[in-house]
Structure 1
Amino acid sequence: MPVTTLIGDLIGSRVSADRRALHARFQQAIDDVNERFAPPTPARITVGDEYQAVFASLGDALAASLLVRIALRPDGDIRHGLGRGEVQVLDASPRVEDGPGWWAARAGIERVEAAEGRAASRTLRTAYVAGPAGEDEAGTGPGTDTEALVNATLLLRDELVTGLSDRSLSVLRGLLDDETQRDLAERLGISPSAVSQRVRADGLGTIVAAHDLMKEIP
């Protein structure tokens, strides 16, 4: 059965000023994704600075990729590749996976790496590849038309997130956790009007709205 594979590659952790703290945030972000989405194959760190997970829907995988990224920003960043297609388990311990969905996600990572070398897309950190079938066997899943639309949205989402300050990221994290602007203001020690201004000026409301829409993709 086609699923969505998510592969994340932590960028530049070896030159981080505090690699231990960055990896602790990385692990916490992965744990939070597992708790929030309960993916069929839970997210786990694999080799080096990579992690993988398998989600039942593309929407869940897209949402998870944003949550992990904003958990690491601004001190760290991560590339994500998402691939739709079947995945086979070659070895259960340690878990080794293969199949069209896994390779599609790996191709997504390669797309991001290539995009980083172009001025128009240098802030891209997430790419989706539909896989060879392009849709579920029943013809009801996200197909190649969805691939182009999703990647256009990701290009804009990643551009907005890349430009956010630490304070704006804190506001965004709260909004994605369904905190009200008033509660955020109290927690962050700023005025409600300052929160509202950040939401408008930095496009935080747009990021949240796009996030909610993409979560509905099967």
Structure 2
Amino acid sequence: MVIAVVADIVGSRKLDDRSAAQRVLDKTIALVEQDIPLASQPLTPTVGDEQQGVYRRLEDALISLLMIQLRLPDGVGFRFGVGIGAVSSVESVHRELADGPGWYAAREAIETVHAKEGRTVPRSRTWIVGAPGQDEVMESTIAASNAYLLVRDELVGAMSERERRLTYGRLIGRSQLDLADEEGITQPSVSKSLRNAGSTAILDGVVALRGGTS
């Protein structure tokens, strides 16, 4: 199983400085991979506002994409289309071109995100589609994962930039005291922010994705 991810930038045409935004995205992806390396091919710009990446396992992709969402500052964001299926490359005189049912599924997934975002779920940012031929277990896994993602994106989308930073810090194992010192606030304030933002649910979800219990 291969997990293909297509990402595009939210509101890319409205950004005041597209180049500066791309530098923020590149730095964020690099920092996430440094903190918890999960991608077999980290998200890399391809053309326009699109990026592509590959993961070995669905849970790795979901954790890594969450980390990117949490780490990005206000004003810069991604949508993610996650495709499950085989991927290949096509030789070109310019560069290798991504191809295969995994990529087709990822594109279908990101189109679904656009549709949901534009209608009834404006904070939707992530969706999964399986290429044809998935077994019943994977189909059930995809359905359950999409239900989880709808709620996860809603929680993350409602967070302030500080709340996302604090949640990210806890996800990578930093203590509340360290985070309080960095933010210039008290440890009880960190705890209150995490509680009010629903961060515990997000963090427990990561534990569940890793196969553990909280």
**TM-score (norm: length of structure 1):** 0.88
Deviation at 1:74, TM superposition (A): 1.7
Aligned residue-pair number: 210
Residue 138 of structure 2 is matched in structure 1 by 143
Deviation at 1:28, TM superposition (A): 1.1
* C-alpha separation in 1, matches of 2:85 and 2:158: 33
Evaluate the alpha carbon distance shift between residue 196 and residue 42 of structure 1 in structure 2; reply closer, same or farther with a 3 A threshold.
closer
Residue 32 of structure 1 is matched in structure 2 by 31
Q: Does 1:19 align with 2:18?
A: yes
* C-alpha separation in 1, matches of 2:193 and 2:123: 21
* C-alpha separation in 2, matches of 1:40 and 1:199: 31
Deviation at 1:214, TM superposition (A): 2.2
Deviation at 1:168, TM superposition (A): 0.8
Residue 68 of structure 2 is matched in structure 1 by 68
Deviation at 1:215, TM superposition (A): 4.0
* C-alpha separation in 1, matches of 2:85 and 2:38: 19
Q: Does 1:201 align with 2:202?
A: no
Give the gaps of 5 or more residues in structure 2: none
* C-alpha separation in 2, matches of 1:90 and 1:129: 22
Residue 77 of structure 1 is matched in structure 2 by 77
Q: Is the 8 A contact 1:34 1:43 kept in 2?
A: no
* Residues 159-178 of structure 1 aligned to structure 2 (within 5 Å): 159-178=154-173
Q: Is the 8 A contact 1:84 1:104 kept in 2?
A: yes
Structure 1, 10-19 or 189-198: larger mean CA deviation: 10-19
Residue 95 of structure 1 is matched in structure 2 by 96
Q: Does 1:212 align with 2:211?
A: no
* C-alpha separation in 1, matches of 2:173 and 2:188: 18
Evaluate the alpha carbon distance shift between residue 5 and residue 50 of structure 1 in structure 2; reply closer, same or farther with a 3 A threshold.
same
Deviation at 1:38, TM superposition (A): 5.2
Aligned-pair identity (%): 35
Q: Is the 8 A contact 1:125 1:158 kept in 2?
A: yes
Equivalent AA in structure 1 for residue 18 of structure 2:
R
Alignment deviations for residues 89-111 of structure 1 (CA, whole Å, 9 cap, x no partner): 11276231111111111111011
Alignment deviations for residues 183-207 of structure 1 (CA, whole Å, 9 cap, x no partner): 1111111001000101111101111
Equivalent AA in structure 2 for residue 175 of structure 1:
R
Secondary structure of the 1:170 match is: helix
Residue 191 of structure 1 is matched in structure 2 by 186
Equivalent AA in structure 2 for residue 3 of structure 1:
V
* C-alpha separation in 2, matches of 1:161 and 1:102: 26
Residue 107 of structure 2 is matched in structure 1 by 106
Q: Is the 8 A contact 2:38 2:64 kept in 1?
A: no
**TM-score (norm: length of structure 2):** 0.90
Equivalent AA in structure 2 for residue 14 of structure 1:
R
* C-alpha separation in 1, matches of 2:39 and 2:72: 21
Query: Aligned-pair RMSD on alpha carbons?
Result: 2.0
* C-alpha separation in 1, matches of 2:173 and 2:38: 19
